[in-house]
């Protein structure tokens, strides 16, 4: 049995961290669903930048958009929604079969709005409505400014993938924003079943400290952060406040492991996937890592519910001079800036392609 199936059987959802029109048109994504237990998909500006830049399959749609007077962000969201609604339809059987727990695709609001609460809320509502799909998450960064937008979007009934979380503290803040939105729906007499995941990024921790720590600690920080966060996740699922919401019909916000591709060429190609095996979570993994995982026949033990040796490992990093709280804030800030950079590059790619297509017409 493939390791992908083993993880699925243990209760972890495998989502692909990629989307291209070629993946859809070639039937490759459907094959991943049928053969590799893939039940969802995430996207971000970097993914779409690479997809549109490296393919001609978007040219017809760009021409059609230009003919309608679309440019820039408006044209991009048309392209993205075309892809993601097709992906959402592909995952719809999993979504229906699990009563909305699984089978999701994700679309990010403009990263330029990361520090603009009001505009983020408006964009989330608009994109969700335009998709016309019940299984499309709108991604909102779990930044300080993003937290009120998350609460408000959940209250409005918009399914949210909280992105750019790096630490236990950032995760807990986003989970509480989600729960506040749900509690407001309960108080207002609204259906409290609004889907959400909280995406905690893992591998970037190890990249950030690789040159600053002794070799014995290499590739251990991200996994330790994950252990600490997983413990808090399970505690939140079981606390009285959450259980009151569940009793009123709410659904738990699931923890999602993001950035789980191995960056160190000397480490296992499924280092993080094996370490993060845990029920009632999601692992969204790059295509290369998914294919590597499929070649493996075993995955090892599940994550320890109590975090295992995470605190001991984190103490060793502290002694090595790593300030985890400061680094978490830095990584979130850098992540937001990286998405803005990719967003601008993406819009430039679309503008350049648009100009070429106009000249060729």
pLDDT for res 1: 82
- Asked whether 268 and 300 are in contact (CB, 8 A), the reply is no
Domain CATH for 89: 3.20.20.70
Q: For 76-85, write each residue's pLDDT tens digit.
A: 999 999 999 9
- How many residues belong to the chain? 361
Per-residue DSSP letter, 112: G
Q: Give the whole-angstrom CA distance, residue 159 versus residue 311.
A: 33
Q: For 142-185, write each residue's pLDDT tens digit.
A: 999 999 999 999 999 999 999 999 999 999 999 999 999 999 99
pLDDT of 133 strictly over 90: yes
CB atoms near residue 116 (< 10 Å): 16
**Which residue shows structure tokens 């007077």?**
69
pLDDT for res 54: 84
The mean-pLDDT minimum among 18-27, 147-156, 349-358 falls in: 349-358
Quick one: angle between helices 72-97 and 324-360, nearest 10?
Answer: 120
- Asked whether 232 and 208 are in contact (CB, 8 A), the reply is no
Nearest CA-CA partner of 128 in 98, 88, 158: 158
- Asked whether 65 and 359 are in contact (CB, 8 A), the reply is no
pLDDT for res 361: 67
- Quote the pTM value: 0.96
Return the bridge partners of 108, or none: 139
- Asked whether 201 and 258 are in contact (CB, 8 A), the reply is yes
pLDDT for res 97: 97
- Residue 220 DSSP SS3: coil
Q: How many domains does the chain have?
A: 1
Nearest CA-CA partner of 104 in 25, 24, 12, 38: 38
Q: Give the whole-angstrom CA distance, residue 208 versus residue 210.
A: 6
CB atoms near residue 280 (< 10 Å): 14
Tokens for 192?
């409290």
Strands 12-16 and 281-285 come out as: parallel
Per-residue DSSP letter, 111: G
Q: For 61-81, write each residue's pLDDT tens digit.
A: 999 999 999 999 999 999 999
What's the number of CA atoms in the CB half-sphere (13 Å) around residue 128? 23
pLDDT of 236 strictly over 80: yes
What average pLDDT does the chain have? 95
Q: For 112-124, write each residue's pLDDT tens digit.
A: 988 889 999 999 9
Provide mean pLDDT across the span 307-331. Answer: 97
At residue 89 the predicted structure's pLDDT band, cuts being 50, 70 and 90, is very high
pLDDT for res 266: 94
pLDDT for res 180: 98
Provide mean pLDDT across the span 264-286. Answer: 96
Domain limits at 237? 3-360
Could you give the percent of the chain with pLDDT greater than 70? 100
Region of 88 on the Ramachandran plot (φ > 0 left; ψ -120 to 50 alpha; else beta): alpha
Q: Give the whole-angstrom CA distance, residue 156 versus residue 121.
A: 9
Q: Which string of DSSP letters, residue by residue, matches 114-127?
A: TT-HHHHHHHHHHH
Q: Give the whole-angstrom CA distance, residue 2 versus residue 137.
A: 28
Residues annotated as part of the active site: 139
């Amino acid at each position: 049995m493939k390791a992908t199936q083993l993880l699925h059987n243990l209760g972890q959802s495998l989502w692909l961290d990629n989307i291209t029109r070629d993946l859809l048109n070639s039937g490759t994504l459907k094959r991943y669903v049928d053969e590799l237990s893939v039940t969802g998909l995430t996207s971000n500006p970097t993914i779409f930048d690479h997809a549109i830049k490296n393919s001609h399959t978007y040219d017809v749609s760009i021409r059609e958009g230009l003919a309608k007077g679309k440019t820039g962000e408006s044209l991009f969201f048309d392209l993205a929604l075309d892809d993601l609604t097709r992906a959402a339809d592909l995952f719809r059987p999993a979504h229906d079969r699990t009563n909305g727990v699984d089978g999701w695709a994700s679309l990010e609001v403009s990263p330029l709005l990361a520090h603009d609460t009001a505009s983020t809320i408006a964009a989330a509502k608009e994109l969700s409505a335009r998709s016309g799909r019940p299984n499309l998450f709108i991604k909102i960064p779990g930044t300080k400014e993003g937290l009120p937008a998350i609460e408000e979007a959940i209250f409005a009934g918009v399914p949210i993938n909280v992105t750019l979380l790096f630490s236990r503290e950032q995760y807990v803040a986003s989970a509480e924003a989600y729960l506040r939105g749900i509690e407001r729906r309960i108080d207002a007499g609204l259906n409290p079943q609004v889907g959400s995941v909280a995406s905690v990024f893992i591998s970037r921790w190890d990249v950030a400290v690789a040159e600053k720590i002794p070799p014995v600690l290499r590739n251990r920080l991200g996994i330790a952060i994950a252990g600490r966060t997983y413990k808090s996740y399970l505690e939140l699922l079981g606390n009285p406040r959450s259980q009151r919401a569940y009793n009123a019909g709410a659904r738990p916000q699931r923890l999602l492991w993001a950035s789980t591709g191995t960056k160190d060429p000397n480490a296992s190609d499924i280092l993080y996937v094996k370490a993060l095996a845990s029920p009632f979570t999601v692992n969204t993994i790059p295509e290369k890592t998914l294919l590597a995982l499929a070649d493996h026949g075993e995955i090892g033990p599940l994550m320890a519910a109590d975090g295992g040796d995470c605190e001991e490992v984190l103490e060793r990093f502290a002694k090595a001079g790593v300030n985890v709280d400061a680094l978490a804030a830095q990584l979130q800030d850098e992540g937001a800036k990286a998405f803005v950079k990719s967003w601008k590059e993406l819009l430039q790619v679309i503008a350049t392609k648009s100009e070429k297509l106009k000249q060729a017409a």
